[in-house]
Structure 1
Amino acid sequence: MEQRSVPSRIGTLLVGAGFIAEVHAAAVTASDRAHLVGIVDTDPGRAAAFSRSHGAIPHTDDLAEALAWPDVDAVVACTPNHTHLGVGAAVAAAGKHLLVEKPLATTVADAQALAAAFAAAGRVLMAAHSHRHHGYGRTVKDAIDAGVIGSPAHVRLSILGGWIWTGWDAWAADPVASGGHALHNGVHVLDLATWWLSADPVRVYARGRHQTAAELRINDYLEMVVEYAGGEVAVLEMSRAHRPGSFGLRDLRVVGSAGMISEDWADEAAFLFTEGGTGLVAAAGVDGFGAQFESWLDTIGGAPPAMPVSDAVRAVELAVAVEESVSTGRPVELGVAA
């Protein structure tokens, strides 16, 4: 572990005052190792409103101005996906650490450029793949790493919901701003399956639908198959098309050489099926965003990253390959998608 000299309380700047910023702000204020030092948003009125609701913290619409504030040590970026390269490059140039909402970027080249910029700056870059830090994601990973199902060979993971963002004009439904449904939401299941399997993805085949309405500009329902170098396979679904809008379901199976883990949305504990019988792998309720923020602070202090930059780049590569496969109707070899 490389120890770094860091302030006792890391001054954290939020960039972007949308709804997800509230979740990140809560994680910052709940930590005894950080404090919220300001908010940046391109809409001055929204920045001012966020400031008023968070103790009158400094606010501006100018990122360069905020990065020059003396008490800013690190940044949490909650901006639309297509802005991540520009925001991240500015943060790296200013010598600050960055936690950026997933995906790391909307193209593989941009993700690699961000990784290189932070490596050169000697600062921590972490993509906010929050599902790695939720109780269910961590429980499955710990059970696999403990060897309770032997060598994992197959993941079946569905995250289905009926929430179509905040409106038809929301940036998340814009294929340019979001990169598409695979990058904005599908990236969660793509990353989880690959992390659980600890395997190298080699091929992606996917289908998508405009399920909610033909006028929707992105696919709100995705089916994705990922093949890995060791013969492992992941079959994944990500939906924002299910109705009613309050609908929510998570369903997962991880099959290994010596057993299977099964878990659903209603029960954070995982069922364990082995030759010795059945049981439960308990999962305590976890604030995934809080755990993620603390993990980032750990990494700033020199701990190994829970979400390595290389994994974040790989998640972008997978999601871009999904979008290409949906568009062409053909499988996509990893390392070929751009």
Structure 2
Amino acid sequence: MTTPPAPLRIGVIGFDHWYAAIPFARRVAADPAVRLHGLVDRDPRRAAHVAALTGCDRTSTDPGYVLEDPEVDAVACFTSVDQSPGLCVAAARAGKHIVSVKPLAMTLDAADRVVEEVERAGVVFVPSESRHTSPLARRLSGLVRSGRLGELRSGTFAMDSGVPLSWPGSTEGPGWWTDPDRTAGGAWIDHAVYQLDRINALFGSPVAEVTGTTANIAHPGLPVEDYGHAVLTLESGAVVTVEDTWIAPPGTSSTRAHLVGSNGAVFHSTATSTFGFAEAGGEWSFSKLPEDTFDTLDVLLAAVHDGVPPGSGVRTARQTLATCLDFYAAARG
């Protein structure tokens, strides 16, 4: 009988990106294959809030609390983007596996430092924008691999939401999400990173050219855009559009995508909870939309315990950032 591996001990640093950080911490606390070994945030009230949700009483305001702890095997970094590269570098040098906030850095120079240290240390790096094993991701990739879509010719990806909150239930505004000194952009990059990672996985072709536009439509006073629309021409010849906004009315967030191939097409929407598929010569058939759940913990465990490489790693995250920065440069003209 095979002895199960010892639980992977994980420390979480930062709850700025609380949308991802709090669910991740709660998932770690509930999974017997891992152990939530420490919670760190510069605001002790936020760490205490998550401690109450997870039952983890090991908290600190100092990242060294987990980075320097030899009992911590992996670090999940969910700080604002400007702080993340330094923490990821420190984690790699300490030999700890990494789950990183998205995007992994604000500049390519900072991203390259992370790539160098992660590869030098040989640790696992899981970018939080990556979802390869969710039910929706598996459904889409299965259709592509089966050939039922044929050659992918175009794609449309879109996400509309309101401006993010700085903390659950907060009335203090978006905080770091709209601070140009702490993030590489606004509404577009906020969700485009997820879509670019998926485009890379499904189309399997590098981006050859990026054009597009940004605007402030609903929130003219924001120092970052609340609207972005990119047109990506891939080396395969396929053309993909990525539109992400913070202009939606409160409570009406929605995500949708449409892939068109030479043999078939796929459409899905969270607004209608539908997944549609049509093959050449046939009518559209619709089914319930599969969940697109965060899978970073599953991917981390598979990589550390079973040697299964993450679908996206540190170099994928670096390329996603490069495409985002190319888009912003093109939008500025």
Q: Is the 8 A contact 2:39 2:56 kept in 1?
A: no
CA 1:11–1:135: 2 relative to 1, 3 Å: same
**Deviates further, 45-54 or 221-230:** 45-54
Greater RCO between the two (CA within 8 Å, min separation 6)?
1
Q: What is the SS of the residue equivalent to 1:226?
A: strand
CA 1:287–1:324: 2 relative to 1, 3 Å: closer
TM-superposed deviation, 1:58:
1.0
TM-superposed deviation, 1:284:
6.9
CA 1:161–1:65: 2 relative to 1, 3 Å: closer
- Distance in structure 2 (CA, Å) of the matches to 1:212 and 1:224: 19
Q: Which residue of 2 aligns with 1:145?
A: 145
Q: Is the 8 A contact 1:139 1:283 kept in 2?
A: no
- Distance in structure 2 (CA, Å) of the matches to 1:169 and 1:43: 16
**Deviates further, 315-324 or 246-255:** 246-255
- Distance in structure 2 (CA, Å) of the matches to 1:146 and 1:280: 18
Q: Is the 8 A contact 2:99 2:127 kept in 1?
A: yes
State the superposition RMSD in angstroms.
2.3
User: Unpaired runs of 5+ in structure 2?
Assistant: 167-171
TM-score by length of 1: 0.88
- Distance in structure 2 (CA, Å) of the matches to 1:15 and 1:133: 24
Given candidates 210, 213, 223, the residue that maps to 1:204 is 210
Given candidates 196, 215, 234, the residue that maps to 2:221 is 215
| 1:272-322: CA deviation from partner (whole Å, max 9, x where unpaired) | 211252354867744622x32111211122112122322211110111111
TM-superposed deviation, 1:94:
0.9
- Distance in structure 1 (CA, Å) of the matches to 2:231 and 2:300: 30
1:100-249 superposed matches below 5 A: 100-166=100-166, 167-168=172-173, 170-181=175-186, 182-243=188-249, 245-249=250-254
- Distance in structure 2 (CA, Å) of the matches to 1:283 and 1:73: 38
Q: Which residue of 2 aligns with 1:298?
A: 302
- Pairs aligned (count): 322
Q: What is the SS of the residue equivalent to 1:158?
A: strand
**Deviates further, 44-53 or 145-154:** 44-53
| 1:148-183: CA deviation from partner (whole Å, max 9, x where unpaired) | 110111101111123443354510111221110243
CA 1:183–1:270: 2 relative to 1, 3 Å: same
Verify: 1:317 aligned to 2:315, yes or no.
no
CA 1:168–1:206: 2 relative to 1, 3 Å: farther
CA 1:283–1:194: 2 relative to 1, 3 Å: farther
Letter in 2 for 1:222: G
| Identity score, percent | 23
Q: Is the 8 A contact 1:271 1:278 kept in 2?
A: no
- Distance in structure 2 (CA, Å) of the matches to 1:92 and 1:185: 26
Letter in 2 for 1:275: A
Q: Is the 8 A contact 2:275 2:290 kept in 1?
A: no
Q: What is the SS of the residue equivalent to 1:35?
A: strand
- Distance in structure 1 (CA, Å) of the matches to 2:159 and 2:190: 13
Letter in 2 for 1:73: D
Q: What is the SS of the residue equivalent to 1:177?
A: coil
Q: Is the 8 A contact 2:29 2:55 kept in 1?
A: no
- Distance in structure 1 (CA, Å) of the matches to 2:292 and 2:234: 31
